[in-house]
Amino acid sequence: MDGTAPSGEGWFGGIDRDDEAAATAAIRDGTADAPDDWPSRAVESGFAADENDYYEILHDATMAATRAAVQEHGRSDVQQLQRVVRAMDDCERVANELAERVAEWAATLFGDAGTGVDYCLGLAERDPDPEQRRVVELARRVRDLDDEATALRRSIERTAPEVAPNLAALAGPVLAARLVSLAGGLETLARKPSGTVQVLGAEEALFAHLRGHAPSPKHGVIYTHEAVRNTHPEDRGSAARALAGKLAIAARADHYTGERRPELDEQLRERVATIRARRDDADEGAEGGADR
């Protein structure tokens, strides 16, 4: 690689002092069998004016190289998270599809047939007659997929807070992982304006709207968040906007500093409470406090 010091030379061998990329590569990838009095050698070779100058360059170079290396590891954590989210979604989707098939089939064989994955979990435990064997086996595959989805979810719950502590706290680990995954990475998510975060995952609805045959989508995957779901339908747009705003800030905090900012949780809670209170007041005015 360019700028990498050959063995036996200092990291600065053959590189230009102003070439930050070369310095980063040299620090990260270079090697030497033994240390040497690098500060003196750097001054002798004309790389640095004096030792203080050398240490200044070294500080910048080690900071840049180490920051780059840390970020690279962060990116591979994010990629791992994306894979796990997709695998979990696949397991859940396939489990549901198979469960439908099982329900249809079981209805012809069992008097008490139900539907859904939960029904399959029960059916999987039965000791089947020969003609029921295939459908019970199928139910067992549903159970296996369901187990795997649960294991994948656990893994997301463990890793999302490490990769994106603020986002995971505000959105919950799974939604956080979904947002990162849909954006194609934490860095790209951190760069998105909150309006885009709000509709992430609603791309199809958005295209329909742009083509002129659908209303503008108010929310994408974030509609699964309690702040949106448990808000009066007419206020969900406001709730989604408020939530998306805080999530965008959380993603930036996670990408740029990685530091947890607990005040964001509180701010979100307050914004949502305000939106809901407005509705309650309005309802009271119009309907004299009648139940909805």
Partner 1 sequence: MSDGLPDGVERRPFDGRERLATRGSPVYGEPTDGDWRAWDASRSKLGAMLSRGLDTGLTGGEPVLYLGAAAGTTVSHVADFAGPTYAVEFAPRPTRDLLDAAAPRSNLFPLLKDAREPASYAHVVEPVDAIVQDVATRGQAEVALRNRRFLADDGRLLLAVKARSEDVVADPGDVFERVLEDLRSGYEVLATERLTPTHEDHLAVVATPRTE
Q: Which residues bind partner 1 (CB under 8 A)?
A: 5, 7, 9-11, 26-27, 30-39, 55-56, 58-59, 62-63, 65-67, 69-70, 73-74, 162, 258
- The CB-of-65 to partner 1 minimum distance in angstroms stands at 8
**Positive or negative: CA dihedral 167, 169, 171, 175:** positive
- Please state, in angstroms and rounded to a whole number, the distance separating the CA atoms of residues 195 and 210: 15
Q: Which is nearer to partner 1, 70 or 214 (CB)?
A: 70
- The CB-of-86 to partner 1 minimum distance in angstroms stands at 24
Q: Which is nearer to partner 1, 54 or 119 (CB)?
A: 54
Q: Which is nearer to partner 1, 48 or 149 (CB)?
A: 48
Q: Which is nearer to partner 1, 12 or 223 (CB)?
A: 12
- The CB-of-110 to partner 1 minimum distance in angstroms stands at 52
Kindly tell me the burial class for residue 34, based on how many C-beta atoms sit within 10 Å of its own C-beta (0-12, 13-18, 19 or more). Answer: exposed
Do the beta carbons of residue 198 and residue 240 sit within 8 Å?
yes
Q: Which is nearer to partner 1, 19 or 125 (CB)?
A: 19
- Please state, in angstroms and rounded to a whole number, the distance separating the CA atoms of residues 253 and 215: 32
- The CB-of-221 to partner 1 minimum distance in angstroms stands at 27
- The CB-of-275 to partner 1 minimum distance in angstroms stands at 35
Q: Which is nearer to partner 1, 114 or 258 (CB)?
A: 258
Do the beta carbons of residue 102 and residue 123 sit within 8 Å?
yes
What are the backbone dihedrals phi and psi of residue 51, each rounded to the nearest 5 degrees, phi first? -65, -40
Kindly tell me the burial class for residue 50, based on how many C-beta atoms sit within 10 Å of its own C-beta (0-12, 13-18, 19 or more). Answer: exposed
Closest Cα to residue 192, out of 179, 204, 205, 202? 179
- The CB-of-67 to partner 1 minimum distance in angstroms stands at 6
